[in-house]
Amino acid sequence: MQVNRREFVVGASLAATVGASAQAAYPERQLTAICNFPAGTGADTFVRYFGGKLSEILGKPVVTDNRGGALGNIATEAVAKSKNDGYTIMIAPGSSTLAAAQSLFKKLPFDPIKDFDPITTISKLSFVVAVDAKSDIKTLDDLTKALKAKGAKATYSVSANTGHVTGELYKREAGLPDVQVAQYRDMQTPLNDLYAGQIDFLTADIPWAVEFAKAGKIRILATASDTRSSALPDVPTFVEAGLKNFGSVIAWWGVWVPAGTPAPIKTTLENAFNKITADPAVKTWLNNLGSDVFPGNSKMLADLLDRKSTRLNSSHIPL
């Protein structure tokens, strides 16, 4: 059958125009931001806040879907297996759910590098060690002495990979090899166990910890950062508290989509999140929670994940 060349060219041009229009129309409907942790956690607060800001820019609803469990792995797997059409995104602490996960779990149900396309970095924060506010323990040194006295009966809680790394670094630098770790799905349960004396201390992200410290429910003993947090000016870093070789544990947040998401969609999302992090109101909001804005791009996020994954896997932290 002979095909008219003019008809072919017109048809191809029309198809290309329709395809371009479909790309340009993104987003046409609601987006879902999957959160790696339960509602009420510091992570949930972050995802809902940034999801709301993204909604304002894109003009479409962004709904938070909390899928807590397995220190964030359940949600991360869900994103990895989602359709790569730009309507499912992951706003998460990649330092924990992707980088640290590789050294904490022998086998993951997803590939932290191959199963995701990076969008950009958005924020960074640190973790803390805290005890019951009613406890007689006032300093990190007090806690260390109490834990040494309890030996293998001492226990601390974690609900995120970065918190686990923080706790294990504290154990190593303070000489506490016998202290046990208990993993929790949420933050309310370990808080209850802390009050009941079932655990001796907990690790938590600063945004969550600040809220409960202000409410008089926990006492924060040290932050795993290079400098004191603006939200916790009276709380020393681990180094200031006496553990000179502790260094720092910084949780960095970023945005990811399933691998293979079309480039124009990724560009739209990257531009949107960079507009969010450039907003002075967002910087103020983060600072009030003890966090900092951390703008970037897809390449920066990819390089950061690769670099931090390599460092954690070779750090020899006794996890």
**Mean pLDDT of each 10-residue bin along the chain, 319 residues long:** 48 45 77 94 92 98 95 94 98 88 84 96 94 97 98 94 91 96 90 97 92 95 91 94 91 95 98 98 91 93 83 49
Q: Which distant-in-sequence residues (6+ apart) come within 8 Å of 21 by Cβ? A: none
- pTM equals 0.75
User: What pLDDT is stored for residue 2 in this prediction?
Assistant: 52
Pairing of strands 88-93, 31-35: parallel
Q: How far is CA 117 from CA 120, 198, 267, 270, 285, in A?
A: 10, 41, 11, 11, 27
What pLDDT does 95 receive? Answer: 83
Q: Would you give the distance in Å from CA 14 to the centre of its chain? A: 44
Report the DSSP beta bridge partners of residue 155: 180
pLDDT score of 316 = 47
3-state secondary structure of 239: coil
Task: Give the model's pLDDT for residue 311.
Answer: 54
Length, in residues, of the chain:
319
Q: With CA atoms as reference, report the closest residue to 253 among 95, 31, 114, 39.
A: 95
